[in-house]
Amino acid sequence: MESTMMDYPLTVPHILERAGRYFPKVEIVSRLPDKSMHRTTYREFYRRSRALAETLRKAGLNQGDRVATLMWNHYVHLEAYFGIPAAGGVLHTLNLRLHPNDLEYIVNNAEDRFLIIDDVLLPVLEGFRSRVNFERIFVVNHSGAPLAAGLESYADLIAGATGEFAYPKIDEREAAGMCYTSGTTGRPRGVVYSHRSTVLHSYNCVLASTMRVSASDVILPVVPMFHANAWGVPYAAAIMGAGLVFPGPYLDGESVLELFEREQVTFSAGVPTVWLAVLQLLEQEASRWRLAPGLRLAVGGSAAPESLIRAFDRFGITVLHAWGMTETSPVATIASLKPHLERLPEDQRYAYRAKQGYAAPFVDLRVVGDDGKEVAPDGKSMGEIQVRGPYITAGYFKMEPTAEKFTADGWLRTGDVATIDEEGYIKITDRTKDLIKSGGEWISSVDLENAIMGHPAVAEAAVIAIPDPKWDERPLAVIVLKPGAQATPQDIETHLAGKFAKWWLPDQYVFTDSIPRTSTGKFLKTALRDQYGKRGPGAAAATKVA
Ligand code: ADP
Protein backbone atom coordinates (compact mmCIF):
# COMPACT_ATOMS: atom_id res chain seq x y z
CA MET A 1 0.00 0.00 0.00
CA GLU A 2 1.30 3.42 -0.83
CA SER A 3 1.48 6.08 1.85
CA THR A 4 -0.39 9.36 1.62
CA MET A 5 2.78 11.32 2.36
CA MET A 6 4.20 13.85 -0.07
CA ASP A 7 7.29 12.87 -1.97
CA TYR A 8 9.27 15.88 -0.77
CA PRO A 9 12.99 15.92 -1.66
CA LEU A 10 15.62 16.46 1.04
CA THR A 11 17.78 19.16 -0.52
CA VAL A 12 20.26 21.87 0.47
CA PRO A 13 18.08 24.75 -0.87
CA HIS A 14 15.54 23.87 1.81
CA ILE A 15 18.16 24.55 4.49
CA LEU A 16 19.07 27.84 2.82
CA GLU A 17 15.43 28.93 2.63
CA ARG A 18 14.89 28.01 6.23
CA ALA A 19 17.95 29.97 7.38
CA GLY A 20 16.92 33.05 5.39
CA ARG A 21 13.34 32.95 6.53
CA TYR A 22 13.63 32.12 10.22
CA PHE A 23 17.08 33.30 11.29
CA PRO A 24 17.82 36.51 9.34
CA LYS A 25 19.26 38.35 12.34
CA VAL A 26 21.69 35.65 13.44
CA GLU A 27 25.31 36.72 13.02
CA ILE A 28 28.08 35.21 10.92
CA VAL A 29 31.51 36.45 11.93
CA SER A 30 34.72 35.81 10.00
CA ARG A 31 38.35 36.54 10.69
CA LEU A 32 39.85 37.45 7.34
CA PRO A 33 43.40 36.81 6.13
CA ASP A 34 44.49 40.34 7.16
CA LYS A 35 43.13 39.52 10.64
CA SER A 36 40.31 42.06 10.34
CA MET A 37 36.86 40.91 11.47
CA HIS A 38 33.98 40.69 9.01
CA ARG A 39 30.43 40.61 10.36
CA THR A 40 27.28 39.72 8.49
CA THR A 41 23.93 38.04 9.11
CA TYR A 42 21.99 35.08 7.81
CA ARG A 43 19.84 37.63 5.92
CA GLU A 44 22.84 38.74 3.86
CA PHE A 45 24.18 35.19 3.61
CA TYR A 46 20.83 34.08 2.19
CA ARG A 47 20.81 36.88 -0.38
CA ARG A 48 24.41 36.34 -1.44
CA SER A 49 24.17 32.53 -1.62
CA ARG A 50 21.19 32.85 -3.93
CA ALA A 51 23.05 35.50 -5.92
CA LEU A 52 25.91 33.03 -6.33
CA ALA A 53 23.49 30.32 -7.48
CA GLU A 54 21.86 32.69 -9.97
CA THR A 55 25.10 34.00 -11.42
CA LEU A 56 26.69 30.56 -11.66
CA ARG A 57 23.73 29.44 -13.73
CA LYS A 58 24.11 32.54 -15.91
CA ALA A 59 27.80 31.74 -16.28
CA GLY A 60 26.75 28.43 -17.84
CA LEU A 61 26.81 26.06 -14.90
CA ASN A 62 24.70 23.02 -15.65
CA GLN A 63 23.16 20.55 -13.27
CA GLY A 64 25.90 18.29 -11.88
CA ASP A 65 28.82 20.53 -12.89
CA ARG A 66 31.61 20.80 -10.35
CA VAL A 67 32.71 24.10 -8.82
CA ALA A 68 35.92 23.85 -6.83
CA THR A 69 36.74 25.98 -3.80
CA LEU A 70 40.19 26.79 -2.47
CA MET A 71 39.41 28.84 0.60
CA TRP A 72 39.90 29.19 4.31
CA ASN A 73 36.90 29.06 6.64
CA HIS A 74 34.93 32.29 6.22
CA TYR A 75 31.60 33.69 5.08
CA VAL A 76 32.27 33.35 1.34
CA HIS A 77 33.08 29.67 1.74
CA LEU A 78 29.74 29.35 3.53
CA GLU A 79 28.01 30.97 0.55
CA ALA A 80 29.70 28.42 -1.71
CA TYR A 81 28.48 25.58 0.54
CA PHE A 82 24.91 26.67 -0.20
CA GLY A 83 25.01 28.63 -3.44
CA ILE A 84 26.71 25.94 -5.54
CA PRO A 85 24.30 23.09 -4.61
CA ALA A 86 21.37 25.54 -4.87
CA ALA A 87 22.39 26.10 -8.50
CA GLY A 88 22.26 22.34 -9.04
CA GLY A 89 26.06 22.30 -9.06
CA VAL A 90 28.49 20.23 -7.01
CA LEU A 91 30.63 21.92 -4.35
CA HIS A 92 34.12 20.44 -4.57
CA THR A 93 36.24 21.56 -1.63
CA LEU A 94 39.97 21.40 -2.38
CA ASN A 95 42.42 20.79 0.44
CA LEU A 96 44.81 23.74 0.27
CA ARG A 97 47.55 21.80 2.05
CA LEU A 98 47.88 19.09 -0.57
CA HIS A 99 50.84 18.76 -2.89
CA PRO A 100 50.27 20.50 -6.28
CA ASN A 101 50.49 17.09 -8.01
CA ASP A 102 47.61 15.80 -5.88
CA LEU A 103 45.57 18.95 -6.51
CA GLU A 104 46.20 18.61 -10.23
CA TYR A 105 45.05 14.98 -10.15
CA ILE A 106 41.97 15.77 -8.05
CA VAL A 107 40.82 18.74 -10.16
CA ASN A 108 41.26 16.80 -13.40
CA ASN A 109 39.63 13.69 -12.00
CA ALA A 110 36.62 15.69 -10.76
CA GLU A 111 36.53 17.71 -14.02
CA ASP A 112 36.01 20.94 -12.09
CA ARG A 113 34.76 23.70 -14.39
CA PHE A 114 34.99 26.75 -12.14
CA LEU A 115 37.07 27.69 -9.13
CA ILE A 116 36.39 30.11 -6.28
CA ILE A 117 39.62 31.00 -4.52
CA ASP A 118 40.93 33.29 -1.78
CA ASP A 119 43.42 35.83 -3.12
CA VAL A 120 45.91 34.72 -0.45
CA LEU A 121 45.78 31.20 -1.89
CA LEU A 122 46.61 32.18 -5.48
CA PRO A 123 50.21 30.94 -4.97
CA VAL A 124 48.77 27.46 -4.25
CA LEU A 125 46.88 27.62 -7.54
CA GLU A 126 49.99 28.67 -9.43
CA GLY A 127 51.56 25.35 -8.39
CA PHE A 128 49.22 23.41 -10.70
CA ARG A 129 47.20 25.89 -12.77
CA SER A 130 48.94 25.14 -16.06
CA ARG A 131 48.04 21.47 -15.74
CA VAL A 132 44.28 21.89 -15.16
CA ASN A 133 41.42 23.44 -17.14
CA PHE A 134 39.36 25.78 -15.03
CA GLU A 135 37.08 27.67 -17.41
CA ARG A 136 36.68 30.55 -14.98
CA ILE A 137 38.45 31.48 -11.78
CA PHE A 138 36.66 33.77 -9.32
CA VAL A 139 38.87 35.43 -6.74
CA VAL A 140 37.70 36.52 -3.32
CA ASN A 141 39.76 39.65 -3.38
CA HIS A 142 40.30 40.41 0.30
CA SER A 143 43.21 42.77 -0.39
CA GLY A 144 41.57 44.69 -3.24
CA ALA A 145 44.75 44.51 -5.34
CA PRO A 146 44.24 44.42 -9.14
CA LEU A 147 43.70 40.90 -10.46
CA ALA A 148 46.00 39.36 -13.06
CA ALA A 149 44.69 38.38 -16.47
CA GLY A 150 42.51 35.29 -16.44
CA LEU A 151 41.22 35.96 -12.95
CA GLU A 152 37.79 37.43 -12.22
CA SER A 153 36.38 39.03 -9.13
CA TYR A 154 33.95 36.97 -7.05
CA ALA A 155 32.33 40.18 -5.82
CA ASP A 156 31.69 41.26 -9.41
CA LEU A 157 30.25 37.85 -10.24
CA ILE A 158 27.58 37.95 -7.57
CA ALA A 159 26.94 41.67 -8.07
CA GLY A 160 25.46 40.65 -11.43
CA ALA A 161 22.50 38.93 -9.74
CA THR A 162 18.99 40.31 -10.15
CA GLY A 163 17.49 38.40 -7.24
CA GLU A 164 15.04 36.83 -9.71
CA PHE A 165 16.16 33.28 -9.18
CA ALA A 166 14.19 30.05 -9.07
CA TYR A 167 15.95 26.94 -7.87
CA PRO A 168 16.30 24.27 -10.52
CA LYS A 169 14.38 21.09 -9.83
CA ILE A 170 16.74 18.90 -7.85
CA ASP A 171 16.32 15.24 -7.12
CA GLU A 172 17.53 14.48 -3.61
CA ARG A 173 19.81 11.74 -4.94
CA GLU A 174 21.73 14.16 -7.15
CA ALA A 175 25.25 15.19 -6.14
CA ALA A 176 25.59 18.27 -3.91
CA GLY A 177 29.24 18.07 -2.93
CA MET A 178 32.42 16.11 -3.23
CA CYS A 179 35.58 15.67 -1.25
CA TYR A 180 38.67 13.55 -1.89
CA THR A 181 40.22 11.35 0.76
CA SER A 182 43.74 12.40 1.56
CA GLY A 183 45.30 9.45 -0.21
CA THR A 184 47.95 8.49 2.31
CA THR A 185 47.94 5.17 0.48
CA GLY A 186 47.54 5.40 -3.29
CA ARG A 187 45.67 8.05 -5.22
CA PRO A 188 43.11 10.33 -3.53
CA ARG A 189 39.61 8.96 -3.98
CA GLY A 190 36.54 11.10 -4.68
CA VAL A 191 33.57 10.78 -2.35
CA VAL A 192 30.39 12.33 -3.76
CA TYR A 193 27.69 13.49 -1.34
CA SER A 194 24.06 13.76 -2.42
CA HIS A 195 21.57 16.39 -1.29
CA ARG A 196 19.82 13.66 0.64
CA SER A 197 22.97 12.41 2.37
CA THR A 198 23.97 15.98 3.22
CA VAL A 199 20.57 16.77 4.74
CA LEU A 200 20.36 13.52 6.72
CA HIS A 201 23.90 13.92 8.01
CA SER A 202 23.36 17.54 9.04
CA TYR A 203 20.13 16.59 10.72
CA ASN A 204 21.92 13.86 12.66
CA CYS A 205 24.52 16.36 13.85
CA VAL A 206 22.04 18.55 15.70
CA LEU A 207 20.45 15.82 17.81
CA ALA A 208 20.51 15.97 21.58
CA SER A 209 22.42 12.68 21.73
CA THR A 210 25.00 13.77 19.18
CA MET A 211 26.38 17.32 18.87
CA ARG A 212 23.32 19.01 20.35
CA VAL A 213 23.41 22.04 18.03
CA SER A 214 20.72 24.59 18.80
CA ALA A 215 19.71 28.18 18.08
CA SER A 216 21.42 29.17 21.33
CA ASP A 217 24.79 28.08 19.98
CA VAL A 218 27.59 30.18 18.57
CA ILE A 219 29.71 27.72 16.60
CA LEU A 220 33.31 28.02 15.54
CA PRO A 221 34.40 25.30 13.14
CA VAL A 222 38.17 25.01 13.49
CA VAL A 223 38.00 21.95 11.28
CA PRO A 224 38.67 23.28 7.78
CA MET A 225 35.77 23.54 5.38
CA PHE A 226 37.86 21.48 2.95
CA HIS A 227 37.96 18.58 5.42
CA ALA A 228 34.85 16.40 5.08
CA ASN A 229 32.37 19.31 4.95
CA ALA A 230 33.77 20.78 8.16
CA TRP A 231 32.07 17.78 9.74
CA GLY A 232 28.68 19.06 8.65
CA VAL A 233 28.86 22.06 10.98
CA PRO A 234 27.91 24.75 8.42
CA TYR A 235 24.76 22.89 7.39
CA ALA A 236 23.86 21.91 10.95
CA ALA A 237 24.22 25.54 12.09
CA ALA A 238 21.99 26.80 9.28
CA ILE A 239 19.28 24.22 10.03
CA MET A 240 19.06 25.33 13.63
CA GLY A 241 19.91 29.02 13.23
CA ALA A 242 23.09 28.88 15.30
CA GLY A 243 25.56 31.76 15.09
CA LEU A 244 28.76 31.04 13.17
CA VAL A 245 32.29 32.26 13.79
CA PHE A 246 34.94 31.46 11.19
CA PRO A 247 38.63 31.56 12.07
CA GLY A 248 40.02 32.23 8.57
CA PRO A 249 43.62 31.06 8.31
CA TYR A 250 44.31 31.47 12.05
CA LEU A 251 44.04 28.07 13.67
CA ASP A 252 46.68 28.38 16.40
CA GLY A 253 45.64 28.03 20.04
CA GLU A 254 46.04 31.70 20.85
CA SER A 255 43.85 32.88 17.94
CA VAL A 256 41.19 30.26 18.63
CA LEU A 257 40.97 31.16 22.32
CA GLU A 258 40.83 34.83 21.50
CA LEU A 259 37.84 34.25 19.19
CA PHE A 260 36.20 31.94 21.72
CA GLU A 261 36.26 34.78 24.20
CA ARG A 262 35.44 37.64 21.88
CA GLU A 263 32.42 35.95 20.28
CA GLN A 264 31.41 33.86 23.33
CA VAL A 265 31.58 30.66 21.32
CA THR A 266 29.58 27.75 22.79
CA PHE A 267 30.53 24.96 20.42
CA SER A 268 33.59 24.17 18.34
CA ALA A 269 35.00 21.24 16.38
CA GLY A 270 38.49 20.15 15.41
CA VAL A 271 41.21 17.50 15.49
CA PRO A 272 43.05 16.71 18.76
CA THR A 273 46.24 18.54 17.75
CA VAL A 274 44.32 21.84 17.80
CA TRP A 275 42.91 21.13 21.25
CA LEU A 276 46.27 20.02 22.65
CA ALA A 277 47.59 23.48 21.73
CA VAL A 278 44.56 25.23 23.25
CA LEU A 279 44.88 23.18 26.40
CA GLN A 280 48.52 24.07 26.85
CA LEU A 281 47.62 27.76 26.84
CA LEU A 282 44.78 27.29 29.28
CA GLU A 283 47.07 25.35 31.59
CA GLN A 284 49.60 28.17 31.49
CA GLU A 285 47.13 30.96 32.26
CA ALA A 286 43.44 30.09 32.22
CA SER A 287 42.38 33.44 33.69
CA ARG A 288 43.45 35.22 30.51
CA TRP A 289 40.21 34.21 28.75
CA ARG A 290 36.62 34.54 29.90
CA LEU A 291 35.00 31.76 27.92
CA ALA A 292 31.27 31.13 27.52
CA PRO A 293 29.92 28.79 30.18
CA GLY A 294 29.12 25.29 28.90
CA LEU A 295 31.54 25.40 25.96
CA ARG A 296 31.56 22.06 24.06
CA LEU A 297 34.28 20.79 21.76
CA ALA A 298 33.67 18.06 19.21
CA VAL A 299 36.94 16.21 18.83
CA GLY A 300 37.60 13.69 16.08
CA GLY A 301 39.82 12.86 13.14
CA SER A 302 42.10 10.98 15.48
CA ALA A 303 41.65 9.68 18.98
CA ALA A 304 41.02 12.14 21.79
CA PRO A 305 43.23 11.08 24.71
CA GLU A 306 41.35 10.55 27.97
CA SER A 307 43.77 12.98 29.61
CA LEU A 308 42.58 15.68 27.20
CA ILE A 309 38.94 15.07 28.10
CA ARG A 310 39.75 15.18 31.81
CA ALA A 311 41.88 18.29 31.50
CA PHE A 312 39.22 20.26 29.60
CA ASP A 313 36.65 19.27 32.21
CA ARG A 314 38.77 21.06 34.78
CA PHE A 315 38.16 24.27 32.82
CA GLY A 316 34.43 23.58 32.52
CA ILE A 317 34.80 22.63 28.84
CA THR A 318 33.12 19.44 27.64
CA VAL A 319 34.78 17.27 25.01
CA LEU A 320 32.49 15.26 22.74
CA HIS A 321 34.50 12.51 21.10
CA ALA A 322 33.33 11.54 17.61
CA TRP A 323 34.51 9.20 14.89
CA GLY A 324 34.08 9.22 11.16
CA MET A 325 35.79 9.61 7.84
CA THR A 326 35.37 11.46 4.55
CA GLU A 327 33.50 8.40 3.32
CA THR A 328 30.95 8.68 6.16
CA SER A 329 30.05 12.36 5.63
CA PRO A 330 31.79 12.17 8.31
CA VAL A 331 30.04 11.84 11.71
CA ALA A 332 29.26 8.15 12.23
CA THR A 333 29.63 7.64 15.99
CA ILE A 334 29.74 9.96 18.96
CA ALA A 335 30.57 9.27 22.58
CA SER A 336 27.74 10.98 24.37
CA LEU A 337 26.97 9.12 27.57
CA LYS A 338 23.72 7.25 27.92
CA PRO A 339 21.99 8.35 31.16
CA HIS A 340 22.73 5.15 33.08
CA LEU A 341 26.42 5.50 32.19
CA GLU A 342 26.40 9.01 33.64
CA ARG A 343 25.87 7.37 37.01
CA LEU A 344 29.02 5.25 36.81
CA PRO A 345 32.06 6.03 38.98
CA GLU A 346 34.25 8.78 37.54
CA ASP A 347 36.97 6.55 36.08
CA GLN A 348 34.50 4.43 34.18
CA ARG A 349 32.69 7.50 32.91
CA TYR A 350 35.90 8.87 31.49
CA ALA A 351 36.75 5.51 29.97
CA TYR A 352 33.44 5.65 28.08
CA ARG A 353 33.90 9.25 26.99
CA ALA A 354 37.35 8.40 25.66
CA LYS A 355 35.81 5.75 23.41
CA GLN A 356 34.51 6.86 20.02
CA GLY A 357 30.89 6.22 20.99
CA TYR A 358 27.97 4.41 19.44
CA ALA A 359 26.47 4.74 15.99
CA ALA A 360 24.38 7.75 15.03
CA PRO A 361 20.84 7.07 13.80
CA PHE A 362 20.69 5.26 10.44
CA VAL A 363 24.33 4.23 10.64
CA ASP A 364 24.60 0.44 10.77
CA LEU A 365 27.89 -0.54 12.34
CA ARG A 366 29.60 -3.86 12.91
CA VAL A 367 33.08 -4.91 14.01
CA VAL A 368 34.34 -7.88 12.05
CA GLY A 369 37.23 -10.15 13.01
CA ASP A 370 39.78 -11.91 10.80
CA ASP A 371 37.44 -14.91 10.53
CA GLY A 372 34.82 -12.73 8.82
CA LYS A 373 32.47 -12.90 11.82
CA GLU A 374 31.40 -10.08 14.11
CA VAL A 375 33.60 -9.98 17.21
CA ALA A 376 32.12 -10.51 20.65
CA PRO A 377 30.83 -7.23 22.17
CA ASP A 378 33.19 -7.59 25.12
CA GLY A 379 35.23 -4.39 24.77
CA LYS A 380 38.32 -6.54 24.16
CA SER A 381 38.07 -8.45 20.89
CA MET A 382 39.39 -6.44 17.98
CA GLY A 383 38.11 -6.31 14.44
CA GLU A 384 37.55 -3.97 11.53
CA ILE A 385 34.72 -1.43 11.70
CA GLN A 386 32.31 -1.80 8.81
CA VAL A 387 29.43 0.61 8.24
CA ARG A 388 26.51 1.25 5.93
CA GLY A 389 23.80 3.87 5.84
CA PRO A 390 22.22 6.70 3.85
CA TYR A 391 25.25 8.98 4.24
CA ILE A 392 27.98 6.36 3.85
CA THR A 393 29.61 6.18 0.43
CA ALA A 394 28.92 3.10 -1.66
CA GLY A 395 31.89 3.70 -3.95
CA TYR A 396 34.36 6.30 -5.22
CA PHE A 397 34.07 8.69 -8.15
CA LYS A 398 35.08 7.00 -11.41
CA MET A 399 36.34 3.90 -9.59
CA GLU A 400 34.93 0.41 -9.42
CA PRO A 401 34.19 -0.60 -5.81
CA THR A 402 36.94 -3.01 -4.75
CA ALA A 403 36.85 -5.86 -2.25
CA GLU A 404 39.50 -3.99 -0.28
CA LYS A 405 37.04 -1.14 0.39
CA PHE A 406 33.62 -2.79 0.29
CA THR A 407 32.31 -6.14 1.49
CA ALA A 408 30.36 -8.47 -0.81
CA ASP A 409 27.20 -7.60 1.15
CA GLY A 410 27.66 -3.86 0.58
CA TRP A 411 29.28 -2.47 3.75
CA LEU A 412 32.13 0.05 3.71
CA ARG A 413 35.36 -1.40 5.10
CA THR A 414 36.79 1.48 7.12
CA GLY A 415 40.27 0.10 7.72
CA ASP A 416 39.86 1.10 11.36
CA VAL A 417 40.43 -1.55 14.00
CA ALA A 418 38.29 -1.36 17.12
CA THR A 419 36.64 -3.15 19.98
CA ILE A 420 32.92 -2.88 20.69
CA ASP A 421 31.30 -3.28 24.09
CA GLU A 422 27.86 -4.44 25.15
CA GLU A 423 26.59 -0.83 25.10
CA GLY A 424 27.64 -0.59 21.44
CA TYR A 425 30.48 1.88 22.13
CA ILE A 426 33.45 1.35 19.85
CA LYS A 427 37.05 2.01 20.83
CA ILE A 428 39.48 2.48 17.99
CA THR A 429 42.74 0.74 18.61
CA ASP A 430 44.36 1.63 15.30
CA ARG A 431 44.15 2.07 11.62
CA THR A 432 44.98 -1.27 10.01
CA LYS A 433 48.16 0.19 8.59
CA ASP A 434 49.34 1.64 11.94
CA LEU A 435 48.89 -1.47 14.10
CA ILE A 436 52.08 -2.82 15.61
CA LYS A 437 52.53 -6.55 15.32
CA SER A 438 54.88 -7.84 17.98
CA GLY A 439 55.54 -11.57 18.37
CA GLY A 440 52.30 -12.35 16.55
CA GLU A 441 50.18 -10.12 18.85
CA TRP A 442 48.73 -6.68 18.14
CA ILE A 443 49.81 -3.63 20.11
CA SER A 444 47.57 -0.58 19.88
CA SER A 445 49.57 2.53 19.01
CA VAL A 446 46.54 4.68 19.89
CA ASP A 447 46.32 3.32 23.43
CA LEU A 448 50.02 3.91 24.02
CA GLU A 449 49.91 7.44 22.59
CA ASN A 450 46.95 8.40 24.69
CA ALA A 451 48.55 7.08 27.85
CA ILE A 452 51.83 8.89 27.11
CA MET A 453 49.92 12.13 26.50
CA GLY A 454 48.49 11.62 29.99
CA HIS A 455 51.96 12.30 31.45
CA PRO A 456 51.99 15.87 32.79
CA ALA A 457 55.21 16.80 30.97
CA VAL A 458 54.06 15.57 27.56
CA ALA A 459 52.46 17.83 24.96
CA GLU A 460 52.20 15.37 22.07
CA ALA A 461 53.07 11.75 21.37
CA ALA A 462 52.88 9.37 18.43
CA VAL A 463 53.77 5.69 18.50
CA ILE A 464 54.92 3.79 15.42
CA ALA A 465 56.14 0.31 14.58
CA ILE A 466 59.81 -0.25 13.88
CA PRO A 467 61.12 -3.48 12.41
CA ASP A 468 62.58 -5.95 14.88
CA PRO A 469 64.45 -9.12 13.94
CA LYS A 470 63.08 -11.12 16.85
CA TRP A 471 59.54 -9.78 17.34
CA ASP A 472 58.82 -8.63 13.80
CA GLU A 473 57.82 -5.13 14.98
CA ARG A 474 58.23 -3.17 18.19
CA PRO A 475 56.77 0.19 19.30
CA LEU A 476 58.78 3.41 19.19
CA ALA A 477 57.38 6.54 20.86
CA VAL A 478 58.03 10.02 19.48
CA ILE A 479 57.41 12.62 22.17
CA VAL A 480 57.17 16.41 22.31
CA LEU A 481 57.49 17.80 25.83
CA LYS A 482 55.57 20.87 27.02
CA PRO A 483 57.64 24.06 26.98
CA GLY A 484 60.00 24.07 29.96
CA ALA A 485 58.92 20.58 31.06
CA GLN A 486 61.33 17.72 31.53
CA ALA A 487 60.97 13.95 31.43
CA THR A 488 63.30 11.06 30.77
CA PRO A 489 62.41 7.85 28.94
CA GLN A 490 62.44 6.16 32.35
CA ASP A 491 59.84 8.64 33.63
CA ILE A 492 57.56 7.84 30.72
CA GLU A 493 58.10 4.13 31.15
CA THR A 494 57.27 4.33 34.84
CA HIS A 495 54.12 6.25 33.92
CA LEU A 496 53.09 3.50 31.48
CA ALA A 497 54.07 0.54 33.66
CA GLY A 498 51.01 -0.98 35.29
CA LYS A 499 48.73 0.39 32.60
CA PHE A 500 49.91 -2.08 29.97
CA ALA A 501 51.42 -5.53 29.68
CA LYS A 502 55.18 -5.25 29.81
CA TRP A 503 55.66 -6.36 26.21
CA TRP A 504 53.46 -3.45 25.04
CA LEU A 505 55.88 -0.83 26.37
CA PRO A 506 57.87 1.04 23.69
CA ASP A 507 61.43 -0.11 23.13
CA GLN A 508 62.52 3.40 22.27
CA TYR A 509 61.53 6.92 23.25
CA VAL A 510 62.60 9.74 20.99
CA PHE A 511 62.21 13.34 22.13
CA THR A 512 61.71 15.90 19.41
CA ASP A 513 60.49 19.49 18.90
CA SER A 514 57.48 18.73 16.77
CA ILE A 515 55.60 15.91 15.13
CA PRO A 516 54.83 16.36 11.42
CA ARG A 517 51.15 16.76 10.54
CA THR A 518 48.98 15.47 7.71
CA SER A 519 47.09 17.91 5.50
CA THR A 520 44.19 17.63 7.92
CA GLY A 521 46.25 18.24 11.07
CA LYS A 522 46.75 14.69 12.30
CA PHE A 523 50.10 13.19 13.26
CA LEU A 524 51.81 12.06 10.06
CA LYS A 525 52.94 8.59 10.97
CA THR A 526 54.27 7.76 7.51
CA ALA A 527 56.84 10.54 7.93
CA LEU A 528 57.77 9.24 11.38
CA ARG A 529 58.17 5.74 9.97
CA ASP A 530 60.42 7.12 7.23
CA GLN A 531 62.47 9.01 9.81
CA TYR A 532 62.71 6.46 12.60
CA GLY A 533 61.49 3.20 11.05
CA LYS A 534 64.92 2.12 9.94
CA ARG A 535 66.27 2.16 13.48
CA GLY A 536 67.25 -1.27 14.60
CA PRO A 537 67.02 -2.46 18.20
CA GLY A 538 70.60 -1.27 18.70
CA ALA A 539 69.41 2.33 18.76
CA ALA A 540 67.36 1.65 21.85
CA ALA A 541 70.11 2.18 24.38
CA ALA A 542 71.06 5.53 22.92
CA THR A 543 67.56 6.99 22.99
CA LYS A 544 66.47 5.47 26.28
CA VAL A 545 69.10 7.43 28.13
CA ALA A 546 68.08 10.84 26.85
P1 ADP B 1 42.50 11.20 6.44
O2 ADP B 1 42.80 10.96 7.89
O3 ADP B 1 43.05 10.10 5.58
O4 ADP B 1 42.76 12.57 6.00
P5 ADP B 1 39.73 11.27 7.07
O6 ADP B 1 39.71 12.63 7.57
O7 ADP B 1 38.57 10.77 6.30
O8 ADP B 1 40.95 11.03 6.18
O9 ADP B 1 40.05 10.36 8.29
C10 ADP B 1 39.31 9.24 8.66
C11 ADP B 1 40.09 8.44 9.64
O12 ADP B 1 40.46 9.21 10.77
C13 ADP B 1 39.32 7.29 10.20
O14 ADP B 1 39.31 6.19 9.31
C15 ADP B 1 40.08 7.00 11.48
O16 ADP B 1 41.25 6.22 11.22
C17 ADP B 1 40.54 8.36 11.91
N18 ADP B 1 39.64 8.88 12.95
C19 ADP B 1 38.63 9.73 12.82
N20 ADP B 1 38.06 10.00 14.00
C21 ADP B 1 38.75 9.31 14.93
C22 ADP B 1 38.66 9.16 16.34
N23 ADP B 1 37.77 9.81 17.07
N24 ADP B 1 39.54 8.33 16.94
C25 ADP B 1 40.48 7.67 16.24
N26 ADP B 1 40.61 7.77 14.91
C27 ADP B 1 39.76 8.58 14.26
Most ligand 1 atoms within 8 A of CB, residue of 193, 210, 299, 323 to mutate: 323
Q: Residue 343 domain-assigned?
A: no
Q: Is-catalytic flag, 327?
A: yes
- With a cut of 50, say whether residue 273 has pLDDT above it: yes
Q: Residue 68 domain-assigned?
A: no
Mean pLDDT of the residues in the chain: 94
State the angle between helix axes of 233-240 and 195-205 in degrees (0 to 180), rounded to the nearest 10.
70
- With a cut of 50, say whether residue 387 has pLDDT above it: yes
Q: How far apart are CA 188 and CA 181, in angstroms?
A: 5
Identity at 15, one-letter amino acid code:
I
- With a cut of 70, say whether residue 278 has pLDDT above it: yes
Q: Residue 229 domain-assigned?
A: no
Atom of ligand 1 nearest to the CA of 303: 24
Q: Residue 278 domain-assigned?
A: no
168 phi and psi, to 5 degrees?
-70, 160
Q: Residue 502 domain-assigned?
A: yes
Average pLDDT value for residue range 478-499: 94
Atom of ligand 1 nearest to the CA of 321: 23
Q: How far apart are CA 477 and CA 455, in angstroms?
A: 13
Ligand 1 lined by 95 (C-beta under 6 Å)? no
Q: Which of 58, 405, 437, 544 is catalytic?
A: 437
Q: How many domains does the chain have?
A: 1
At 444-465, the pLDDT tens digits run 999 999 999 999 999 999 999 9
Ligand 1 lined by 300 (C-beta under 6 Å)? yes
Average pLDDT value for residue range 325-330: 97
- The confidence score (pLDDT) of residue 542 equals 39
Q: Residue 237 domain-assigned?
A: no
Q: Residue 382 domain-assigned?
A: no
At 86-127, the pLDDT tens digits run 999 999 999 999 989 999 999 999 999 999 999 999 999 999
Atom of ligand 1 nearest to the CA of 184: 3
Q: Which of 263, 327, 384, 449 is catalytic?
A: 327
State the angle between helix axes of 12-22 and 75-86 in degrees (0 to 180), rounded to the nearest 10.
130
Ligand 1 lined by 270 (C-beta under 6 Å)? no
Ligand 1 lined by 82 (C-beta under 6 Å)? no
Q: How far apart are CA 90 and CA 175, in angstroms?
A: 6
- With a cut of 60, say whether residue 393 has pLDDT above it: yes
529 phi and psi, to 5 degrees?
-65, -40
Q: Is-catalytic flag, 181?
A: yes
At 22-57, the pLDDT tens digits run 999 999 999 999 999 999 999 999 999 999 999 999
Atom of ligand 1 nearest to the CA of 415: 14
Q: How far apart are CA 91 and CA 82, in angstroms?
A: 9
Q: Does residue 360 contact residue 204 with C-beta atoms inside 8 Å?
A: yes
Boundaries of domain holding 471: 434-545
Percentage with pLDDT > 90 across the chain: 87
What CATH number does the domain containing 440 carry? Answer: 3.30.300.30
Q: How far apart are CA 11 and CA 58, in angstroms?
A: 21
Q: Residue 441 domain-assigned?
A: yes
Nearest protein CA to atom 9 of ligand 1, as residue: 325
